[in-house]
Amino acid sequence: MLIFGLRLIVTDLISKEDLATIDFLFEQDLLDEIQKVGQLKKVPKGDIMIDLGEAISYIPLLLEGAIKVVREDDSGEELLLYFVEFGNTCAMTLNCCLENTASEIRAICEADTSLIMVPVKFMDQWLSNYFSWRKFVFDNYQNRLNEMLKAIDALTFLRLDERLEKYLLDKSNVIQSNQLSVTHLEIATDLNSSRVVISRLLKKMEKQGQLVLGRNTITLKM
């Protein structure tokens, strides 16, 4: 069963402890509503949370983990837009909810992820009733827009080796670890390059002491 594109693994009631991780974002009345109508989901690393063309029924609030958001062109080439991490949501998802359109992105778990799923039908009501929800939505729009502009700038102005270094550092910051579980092909796909080129650049970075390559792992020394 797919809801919001999720291969649902665990469904739990939302506890006070779960809400405590995001209580700095929302006023108490809204936290009470989130606990009443939301659902807690846990999704393993690598699962596609939402795919292109899917209808969106829920808004995700990240409690733990990270999500990679990509676009795909008509030829199947992917472009990394941004990462979503703790305390945030996907701005492209919010946009689809407001316009009642199908998903235009693919969202993939970068790590084992826990999130609260809020039914879309509450979005407009909460925008009217809760200042903290309006701020949360607008802040996420602004932050994701900034990240997409940075992605466009990197694609336009940076050399591939500079884009690769930025990609690895961004990924490390999102998962809060200097050890990345990722293949050269995955990196090539995200950077719209080839595996051969990415492997060559990674080996060059290893010789320069910036990282250590392992079997489907990269340990950053930067």
pLDDT tens string 19-31 = 999 999 999 999 9
Distance CA 116, CA 61 (A): 5
Tell me how crowded residue 208 is: count the other CB atoms within 10 A of its CB: 10
Say whether pLDDT at 4 is over 70: no
pLDDT of 97 reads 76
C-alpha gyration radius of the chain: 18
Report yes or no: 161 and 202 within 8 Å, Cβ to Cβ. Answer: no
Report the DSSP beta bridge partners of residue 108.
48, 68
pLDDT tens string 69-80 = 988 877 778 888
> In the chain, helix, strand, coil percent, each to 5?
45, 25, 30
**CATH class of the domain comprising 2-155:** mainly beta
When pLDDT is cut at 50, 70 and 90, the band that residue 11 belongs to is low
158-220, what's its fold? Arc Repressor Mutant, subunit A (1.10.10)
Q: What is the mean pLDDT of residues 190-206?
A: 94
pLDDT tens string 200-219 = 999 999 999 999 999 999 99
Report the DSSP beta bridge partners of residue 219.
179, 212
- The predicted model scores a pTM of 0.79
Distance CA 61, CA 85 (A): 9
Say whether pLDDT at 51 is over 50: yes
Percent of the chain with pLDDT over 90: 48
pLDDT of 7 reads 46
Structure tokens at 34: 């989130």
Distance CA 6, CA 49 (A): 5
pLDDT of 3 reads 43
Taking the alpha carbons at both ends of the chain, their separation in whole angstroms is: 42
Tell me how crowded residue 123 is: count the other CB atoms within 10 A of its CB: 15
pLDDT of 147 reads 84
Name the residue with higher pLDDT: 152 or 7.
Answer: 152
Q: What are phi and psi of 150, to 5 degrees?
A: -65, -40
pLDDT of 208 reads 95
Distance CA 82, CA 141 (A): 12
**Is 158-220 the same fold as 2-155?**
no
Domain-wise residue ranges, the chain: 2-155, 158-220
